[in-house]
Amino acid sequence: MSFPKTLDEMTAAGYTFEGGADCKACKAPIEWWKTPKGKKIPMDHGTANPHWASCPNAQDFRRPKAGRSTHETLSE
């Protein structure tokens, strides 16, 4: 299943609009949507584009991969 390309396709696929806000990192206007599986996803305002694809600071919000620490090991 591919990601919906339009807001109408998102709605038809079961995504629900949760509200608007500004990105904490880049201050761009975003919309919060809930996926059919219940997860929240930030979208660029008025588009069907995930905000993490356009935010210059998206790496600040990425979770570490399983089994990896968020802290670097310091060498002495």
11 Cβ contact partners less than 8 Å away, ≥ 6 residues apart = 17
pLDDT number for residue 40 = 95
Structure tokens at 14: 């079961």
Q: What is the pTM of this model?
A: 0.76
Query: How many structural domains does the chain have?
Result: 1
> Mapping DSSP to helix (H, G, I), strand (E, B) and coil, where does residue 7 land?
helix
Q: Is the pLDDT of residue 65 over 60?
A: yes
pLDDT digits (tens, 9 = 90+) for 16-60: 999 999 999 999 999 999 999 999 999 999 999 999 999 999 888
70 vs 13: which has the higher pLDDT: 13
**47 in any annotated domain:** yes
The answer to whether position 3 is within a domain reads no
Q: Evaluate if residue 76 carries a pLDDT over 50.
A: no
Q: State which residues form the domain around 27.
A: 18-60
